Structure 1
Amino acid sequence: MTSPVVTVRPDASVKEAARLIVTHGFAVLPVVDADDRLLGVVTEADLLRNRLLPDPRELIHDRPPAPTPPAPSGVAGVMTTEVVTAMPDTHAAELGRLMVERHLRAVPVVDRDRLVGIVSRVDVLRTIVRDDDAIARDVAGHLSAAGRRRWDVAVADGVVSLASEGADETDRHIATVVAGCTAGVVGVRIRDEVAEPARR
């Protein structure tokens, strides 16, 4: 998640919003009021819509085009107000699902109606490419904090493999949930055997 977020006010000009998007390389620019409440978003498509004139070369042999009303000059006139948002504790898997199903390039994160961050597709992809050793350390730490028992943790390509002697069904379920909440985990499986310690 990116925080703090570069934002724009609804009374800003379209040109100012376009400059922010170009300068920072954003696909989505949140629109907020003076209290940082999310009012909408401005996308690249919103800014391009009805903003470019037709190719004049195509008009040489054609009749002049019918006059069209001028495009809005302010952000309030072009922004999208029906916005898909997330909470600060929304899991990366849910964010990824929203982005794929709704064709979203970024999702604003709100807390009590106030904008606190924004998550892009790249942010979600970063969880997929996390190093297995880093994932294993995080999973082991989370399981240790849960404090129920000691687990043997192994990770390969984001898939967590867990084992603990004497673990019952409840222990296994809790461990699976805890491990699955760790960034970068793409799967969890429980092993029946605990890995033998390396011999010196």
Structure 2
Amino acid sequence: MKTPLTARDLMTPDVVTVPPETPVIAVARLLAERGISAVPVLGAKGEVLGVVTEADLIRRLAGEEDKPMSWFASLFSNPAELAERYARTHGATAADIMTTSVVTVGEDDTAAHIAHVMEERGIRRVLVVSEGRLRGIVSRADLLRALVAPPPAEEAMSDERIRRAVLAAMQKEPWADSFYTLVDVKDGIVTFHGFMRDAGVNRGLRVLAEGIPGVKGVKDETQPMPMYLFAGT
């Protein structure tokens, strides 16, 4: 089976970077002229120090209208957090306003792993780092290439191997009614028999079966689960 796409396959290797002392106005101009939404900040040895995003620049601009905090409100505030916000909203260089909690992946991490990281962290891009050095950057747009890439060549699988693979996948999912749902495979067509809890489970099992290599189609011949069986679930 074809090896899944990795960060090395998807990343943009020629990444525009800036040193930490770069003026904020120069970073903003760079993003606007290059049509990019973020730029990594690298140290003297090429190590990743942080990244300046459009959000960081907008935060910096919005900070110009911050109102002084009242004496009473300051009693309940965190001085360290206030100082951090002040530095990021009034800083003059990339080092002052950059986001330092940078999410990185390795060159061999798969597209699926990178997508999971992006979704979990709610971010648009990840830096690809190897041996402490920046190797590239993977954006959401790059991940779309993994979706439209030609499907991997499928190995010939017997119906019994497909059936076992479907059952194994069902046992990993807590929502799958593997006890009441039977699986049959003939000529690559997966057929579900027995009882089904609801339409949501039905849809989930169809998608699960379609994801098994060698499956050519899925049929549902299940019946709604009787009430007396619901009582035992």
Unaligned runs of 5+ in 2: 1-10, 70-85, 166-209, 217-233
- 1:190 match: 214
- Between stretches 104-113 and 70-79, larger displacement belongs to 70-79
Whole-Å separation in 2 of the counterparts to 1:113 and 1:39: 11
Whole-Å separation in 1 of the counterparts to 2:211 and 2:37: 30
Task: Give the structure-2-normalised TM-score.
Answer: 0.53
How many aligned positions are there?
A: 145
- 1:77 match: 96
Whole-Å separation in 1 of the counterparts to 2:22 and 2:160: 59
Contact 1:109 1:116 in 2 (8 A): yes
Structure 1 vs Structure 2 CA RMSD? 3.3
Contact 2:31 2:38 in 1 (8 A): yes
- 1:31 match: 41
Letter in 1 for 2:112: A
Instruction: Determine which of 12, 17, 22 is the counterpart of 2:22.
Output: 12
User: Among the aligned pairs, what percent are the same residue?
Assistant: 40
- 1:121 match: 140
Indicate the structure with greater helix content: 2
- 2:114 match: 95
Show CA shifts across 1:33-92 (max 9, x none).
Answer: 1222111111111111141455xxxxxxxxxx5498871110110011111100001100
- Deviation of residue 188 (structure 1)? 3.9
- Deviation of residue 168 (structure 1)? 7.4
- 1:163 match: 156
Contact 2:60 2:97 in 1 (8 A): no
Unaligned runs of 5+ in 1: 55-64, 141-152, 154-161, 173-185, 193-200
- Deviation of residue 191 (structure 1)? 5.0
